Amino acid sequence: MRKNDKNPEQSSFMSYLGLGLNIAITILIFVMIGYFVDKKFSTIPIFTITGSVAGFLTGMSTLYKTIKQVSHRKPLKQ
């Protein structure tokens, strides 16, 4: 077996793991931006909450697009 050969189950697992990390990092980035804006303007927690909602919506949009792509792929033959 060559190094570049991948188990389809492992490949699927890694793509979903990457998707989860992508969503988590997106939410974290938006929350951090909101927090720093709140600190600068002394408006805690308005922008932190706004950032978390924006991050959540962006993450869910990414999840939706990915699920839509995956559902259009041909199933693997076993």
- Residue pLDDT, tens place only, 36-67: 999 999 998 999 999 999 999 999 999 899 88
Identify the pLDDT of residue 1: 47
pLDDT at residue 14 is higher than 90: no
Number of domains, the chain = 1
pTM: 0.75
Distances (CA, A) of 27 to 16, 41, 68: 17, 21, 21
- Residue 9: inside a domain, yes or no? no
> Do the domain assignments include residue 76?
no
Provide the residue range defining the domain that includes 46: 27-68
The region of weakest confidence among 8-12, 37-41, 62-66, 68-72 is: 8-12
Q: Has residue 31 been placed in a domain?
A: yes
